Amino acid sequence: MRYLLLNKPYEVLTQFTDEAGRATLKDFVAVPGVYPVGRLDFDSEGLLLLTDDKALQHRLSDPRYKVFKTYWAQVEGVPTEAALQQLRQGVPLKDGLTAPGEAAVLPAPAGLWARTPPIRYRASIPTAWLEIRISQGMNRQVRKMCAAVGLPCLRLVRAGLADLRLAGLAPGQWRELTADEVQRLRQAPGDGPAARGPGPPRRAGFGGAAPRPGPRRPRSA
């Protein structure tokens, strides 16, 4: 079986074909038979796992298993403690009330690649970074949560899945998971606030040993 960790670039579809000619996973991953675990929106970036292991795919995608995903959200405005507490407790959306998660103000992530095109910049409106950890997978959930508490999301990066991190992968690069990483994913518990008890979220980062990147395929014209 194959287990690939990809840093999905901005404005790439989480699928392998597109009749409109937009960039897809096929432009970066030339491995047959693998499929994405969950989805990452066209305008979101970061960690995406691809595999042909259907059992693991189900375990990581089904919210009943409460496998947490870590996101870095650059938002418009200054986060208040009340807004952060609402994100932690659950936010009422049209899709329903979100489950409890974790949210904290984050310094600008070190080593984060520049986005092309960059976010819109307005000198009169400050921005901030949040780290948000959730186990659900509602459509555009993190963006909707941020907007609901008055913090429109300008940029969204998935930085972690369970204890997996991007670990230096540039946008469009991928690597194979190690056997130990696969085993840990298979055993990944629901490790959010209910399981671990109160405390600040663990920091996702790009440090650690250099990955063994897979080939990066050029984007189709």
41 alpha carbon, distance to own chain's centre: 10
Reference 73, options 113, 95, 37, 45; nearest CA is 45
Length of the chain measured in residues: 221
What's at 111, amino acid-wise?
G
- Bridge-based pairing of strands 164-165 and 153-161 is antiparallel
Cβ–Cβ under 8 Å, residues 128 and 73:
no
Cβ–Cβ under 8 Å, residues 192 and 135:
yes
Reference 59, options 215, 171, 184; nearest CA is 184
Active site residue 41: yes
Q: Which of 18, 27, 41, 163 does the annotation list as catalytic?
A: 41
Say what angle helices 179-186 and 54-61 make with each other, to 10 degrees. 50
Backbone torsions φ then ψ of 38, nearest 5 degrees: 75, -170
State the catalytic residues.
Answer: 41
